[in-house]
């Protein structure tokens, strides 16, 4: 609770939380509040600019852009959140286990992580679509699996060495069960790091979902998503060069808020970000750099 | 990929090893570690790739004949492609063939997968290489400039642009480039491709926009990391000392600090290689380039599993090899890693 208060004191976090609350509201109720049917084609008003009837104009088959943005928020956000949940559910327990159980399985789990890290999101998602079928579920499971090594590394880095810390030993001497120490002492240390990573990963997943929609993977066309809208605008750049601005702005606001929130959580809790290998001196200057962003 | 010194090799290090051996053995050991990691990762990547194929329920008859395939057709083609054998046997045969450069035949066109990939791969590799060069130029310049003006206007501008770039999917940046350079200014073509061996200048005209679109993301992370480590290194005693002895800030930066700050930046580049290859998929589609991703996308639409698996495996190999080169560069650049100490430190 104190963390949330500390977070709220940081102006950039407040801005980010408000924006994200707005996006969450759109994701939940956007479809119901949309002024038009997002799939209805007003064939007389194709490729219109913003007007009274269509506040953000219409697309290439005359669908209302504002309604599509509001409805599309749901699928875009749900997809990204699902992928991050899968990544966290796979990565966090395995990271805890690897730090807790010691070096027995460590080499193998690290190599599995290395392998998943080298597979590019888009190429892997195409392969999954080609073998297991094209759908939002398959795409998100694929992205979640590729996100899991990030969670694994962050969790493992934060939990590593905590087993030998005196207060953990003291708790065990006083008869605390392993489960209790894990929950009470380890998890509270690991959680902020996982939160920072989750915020970053959600932003990254939103971008990946958009890229997949651009490739025609994941969500199938008539259903609106931010990425799908952006990519359909691509074909009509000559007629409407400004059309991509609306979905792009919404996406920038969401991903930017998630990044700001991640930085703010880091500042408020002293958590460290995903460990960049071989950059021992990075943490303190990196945090300074992020404060620069906040002030700018 | 991290470097990990492998245990068995250390047994070879005899107690009476001379001074020269003391220098080279750890280096050999870290090289052996790199080799062990590389082989393991390649093996796991092949397992993941093959596993996807094994989990797939599409079959050659359905891919080639579509709805009209009868059970007899399915059985016949499954037998022809060896799909009726046990999975372990299939895997061994697939990997064995892949090692000799045979990735099987497309279920759809029966063209050897390796041939299709051999045709398409140079497109991606040449554009990715150009993108990497651009990213180094743009990102390196921005990072050095930002470190020199630490806290100044240029520093803030670089940080802001980097943060904004990180909030957009890569294809939006590509679209913006198309609008500016192809639609408005009409300077460069919006799509198409000429092979580099046919006409290098014409290739550059077609490749520069895709490469630029591909490079900006990576340039942003290079700029960030380079700025961070440069600022950190400039505070170190040796840099401050050199400056106090009267060397200019630029001289200290280019003469002393840059080499030390390059290590973490190289690590960032190593991590960015999957991003570049993955981004190549997007730029290929955006600019209509005849690359590996187009091949893989078309195959995915038809359920042509051998082509999909072949491209995934080749992509993994390309990324692994590129990361290996970056890793070796890092070892060459950093005396600590060369002595093997950095290798152990990096494992954590």
Comparing CB atoms, the residue among B274, B297, B308 nearest residue A119 is B274
Asked if B37 and A111 come within 8 Å (Cβ–Cβ), the reply is yes
CA angle B165, B169, B170 (to 5 degrees): 80
Comparing CB atoms, the residue among B169, B264, B308 nearest residue A227 is B169
Residues in chain B with CB shorter than 8 Å from the CB of A216 are 297
Judge residue B3's burial from the number of C-beta atoms within 10 Å of its C-beta, 0-12 exposed, 13-18 middle, 19 or more buried: buried
Asked if A132 and B168 come within 8 Å (Cβ–Cβ), the reply is no
Asked if A122 and B323 come within 8 Å (Cβ–Cβ), the reply is no
ipTM: 0.78
| CA distance, residue A41 to nearest chain B CA (Å) | 25
Asked if A118 and B229 come within 8 Å (Cβ–Cβ), the reply is no
pLDDT tens sequence across B14-30: 444 455 555 566 667 77
Asked if B167 and A259 come within 8 Å (Cβ–Cβ), the reply is yes
Q: How confident is the model at residue B69 (pLDDT cuts 50, 70, 90)?
A: low
φ/ψ (deg, to 5) at A228 = -60, -40
**pLDDT tens, per residue, chain A with 296 residues:** 677 777 788 888 888 888 888 888 888 887 777 777 776 776 666 666 677 666 667 776 667 778 888 888 888 888 889 999 999 999 888 888 887 776 767 778 888 888 888 888 888 888 888 788 777 888 888 889 999 988 988 888 888 777 778 888 888 888 888 788 888 888 888 888 888 889 888 988 888 888 888 888 776 667 777 877 877 777 777 677 777 788 888 888 888 888 888 888 887 776 655 444 333 333 333 333 333 333 32
Range of the structural domain that residue A196 is part of: 2-295
Q: Quick one: pLDDT at residue B334?
A: 67
| CA distance, residue B4 to nearest chain A CA (Å) | 9
Comparing CB atoms, the residue among B175, B303, B348 nearest residue A237 is B175
A259 close to B (CB below 8 A): yes
Q: Under a CB-based contact definition with an 8 Å cutoff, are residues B33 and B3 in contact?
A: yes
Higher pLDDT, B60 or B325: B325
How many separate domains does chain A show? 1
A126 close to B (CB below 8 A): yes
φ/ψ (deg, to 5) at A231 = -75, -30
* Domains in chain B with CATH codes: 23-48+118-347 (1.10.3720.10)
| CA distance, residue A175 to nearest chain B CA (Å) | 31
User: Checking phi first, is residue B81 left (phi over 0); if not, alpha (psi -120 to 50) or beta?
Assistant: alpha
Print the SS3 string covering chain A: CHHHHHHHHCHHHHHHHHHHHHHHHHHHHHHHHCCCCCCCCCCCCCCCCCCCCCCCCECCCCCEHHHHHHHHHHHHHHHHHHHHHHHHHHHHHHHHHHHHHCCCCHHHHHHHHHHHHHCCHHHHHHHHHHHHCCCHHHHHHHHHHHHHHHHHHHHHHHHCCHHHCHHHHHHHHCCCCHHHHHHHHHHHHHHHHHHHHHHHHHHHHHHHHHHHHHHCCCCCCCCCCHHHHHHHHHCCCCCCCCCCHHHHHHHHHHHHHHHHHHHHHHHHHCCCCCCCCCCCCCHHHHHHHHHHHHHC
Residue B67 DSSP symbol: G
pLDDT above 80: residue B144: yes
Best of B50, B62, B107, B171 to substitute, by most chain A Cβ atoms within 10 angstroms, is B171
Comparing CB atoms, the residue among A115, A122, A234 nearest residue B175 is A234
Q: Quick one: pLDDT at residue A86?
A: 93
Q: Under a CB-based contact definition with an 8 Å cutoff, are residues B260 and B335 in contact?
A: no
| CA distance, residue A278 to nearest chain B CA (Å) | 5
Residues in chain A with CB shorter than 8 Å from the CB of B319 are 118-120
A146 close to B (CB below 8 A): no
Asked if A118 and B224 come within 8 Å (Cβ–Cβ), the reply is no
pLDDT tens sequence across B174-226: 888 887 887 777 777 777 777 777 777 777 777 888 888 888 888 888 888 88
Comparing CB atoms, the residue among B41, B184, B299 nearest residue A130 is B299
Mean pLDDT of B85-110: 79
Where residue A245 sits, what CATH number does that domain have?
A: 1.10.3720.10
* Overall size of chain B counted in residues: 348
Asked if A251 and B169 come within 8 Å (Cβ–Cβ), the reply is yes
Mean pLDDT of all residues in chain B? 77
pLDDT tens sequence across B261-287: 887 788 888 878 888 888 888 888 888
Q: Quick one: pLDDT at residue A133?
A: 77
Q: Quick one: pLDDT at residue B61?
A: 67
pLDDT tens sequence across B301-321: 777 888 888 888 888 888 888
Distance CA B193, CA B119 (A): 13
Q: Residue B215: which residues within 8 A CB-CB, separation 6 or more?
A: B130, B131, B132, B134, B135, B138, B139
Distance CA A263, CA B22 (A): 44
Q: How many C-beta neighbours within 10 Å does residue A270 have?
A: 10
Residues in chain A with CB shorter than 8 Å from the CB of B348 are 157, 160
């Amino acid at each position: 609770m104190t963390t949330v208060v500390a977070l709220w004191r940081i102006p950039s976090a407040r801005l980010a939380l408000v924006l994200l609350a707005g996006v969450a509201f759109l994701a939940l109720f956007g479809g119901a509040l949309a002024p038009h049917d997002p799939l209805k084609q007003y064939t007389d008003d194709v490729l219109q600019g913003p007007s009274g009837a269509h506040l953000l104009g219409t697309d290439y088959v005359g669908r209302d852009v504002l309604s599509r943005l509001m409805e599309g928020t749901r699928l875009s956000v749900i997809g990204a959140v699902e992928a991050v949940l899968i990544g966290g559910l796979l990565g966090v327990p395995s990271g805890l286990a690897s730090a807790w159980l010691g070096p027995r399985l460590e080499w193998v789990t690290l190599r599995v992580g290395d392998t998943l890290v080298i597979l590019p999101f888009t190429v892997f998602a195409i392969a999954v679509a080609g073998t297991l079928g094209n759908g939002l579920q398959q795409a998100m499971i694929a992205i979640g699996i590729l996100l899991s090594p990030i969670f694994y590394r962050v969790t493992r880095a934060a939990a590593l060495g905590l087993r030998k810390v005196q207060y953990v030993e003291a708790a065990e001497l006083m008869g605390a069960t392993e489960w209790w120490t894990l929950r009470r002492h380890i998890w509270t240390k690991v959680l902020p790091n996982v939160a920072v990573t989750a915020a970053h990963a959600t932003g990254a997943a939103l971008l990946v979902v958009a890229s997949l929609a651009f490739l025609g993977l994941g969500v199938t066309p008539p259903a609106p998503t931010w990425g799908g809208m952006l990519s359909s605008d691509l074909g009509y750049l000559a007629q409407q060069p400004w059309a991509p601005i609306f979905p792009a702005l919404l996406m920038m606001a969401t991903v930017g808020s998630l990044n700001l929130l991640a930085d703010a959580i880091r500042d408020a809790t002293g958590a460290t970000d995903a460990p960049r290998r071989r950059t021992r001196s990075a943490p303190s200057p990196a945090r300074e750099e992020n404060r620069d962003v906040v002030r700018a | 990929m991290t470097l990990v010194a492998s245990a068995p090799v250390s047994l070879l290090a005899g107690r009476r090893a001379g001074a020269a051996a003391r220098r080279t053995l750890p280096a050999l050991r870290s090289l052996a570690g790199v080799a062990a990691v590389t082989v393991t990762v390649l093996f796991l990547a092949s397992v993941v790739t093959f596993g996807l194929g094994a989990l797939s329920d599409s079959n050659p008859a359905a891919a080639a004949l579509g709805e009209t395939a009868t059970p007899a057709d399915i059985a016949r083609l499954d037998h022809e492609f060896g799909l009726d054998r046990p999975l372990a046997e299939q895997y061994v045969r697939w990997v064995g063939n892949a090692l000799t450069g045979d990735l099987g035949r497309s279920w759809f066109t029966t063209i050897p997968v390796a041939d299709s990939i051999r045709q398409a791969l140079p497109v991606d590799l040449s554009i990715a290489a150009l993108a990497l060069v651009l990213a180094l130029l743009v990102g390196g310049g921005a990072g050095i400039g930002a470190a020199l003006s630490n806290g100044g206007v240029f520093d803030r501008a670089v940080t802001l642009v980097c943060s904004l770039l990180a909030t957009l999917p890569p294809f939006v940046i590509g679209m913006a480039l198309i609008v500016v350079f192809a639609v408005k200014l009409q300077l460069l073509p919006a799509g198409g491709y000429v092979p580099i061996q046919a006409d290098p200048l014409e290739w550059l005209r077609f490749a520069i926009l895709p490469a630029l679109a591909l490079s900006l993301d990576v340039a942003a992370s290079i700029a960030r990391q380079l700025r961070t480590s440069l600022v950190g290194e400039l505070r170190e005693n040796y840099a401050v000392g050199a400056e106090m002895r009267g060397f200019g800030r630029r001289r200290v930066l280019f003469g002393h600090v840059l080499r030390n700050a390059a290590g973490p930046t190289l690590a960032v580049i190593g991590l960015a290689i999957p991003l570049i290859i993955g981004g190549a998929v997007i730029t290929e589609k955006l600019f209509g380039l005849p690359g590996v991703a187009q091949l893989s996308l078309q195959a995915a639409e038809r359920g042509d599993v051998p082509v999909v698996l072949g491209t995934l495996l080749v992509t993994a190999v390309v990324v692994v090899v590129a990361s290996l080169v970056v890793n070796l560069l890092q070892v060459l650049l950093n005396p600590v890693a060369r002595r093997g100490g950095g290798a152990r430190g990096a494992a954590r």
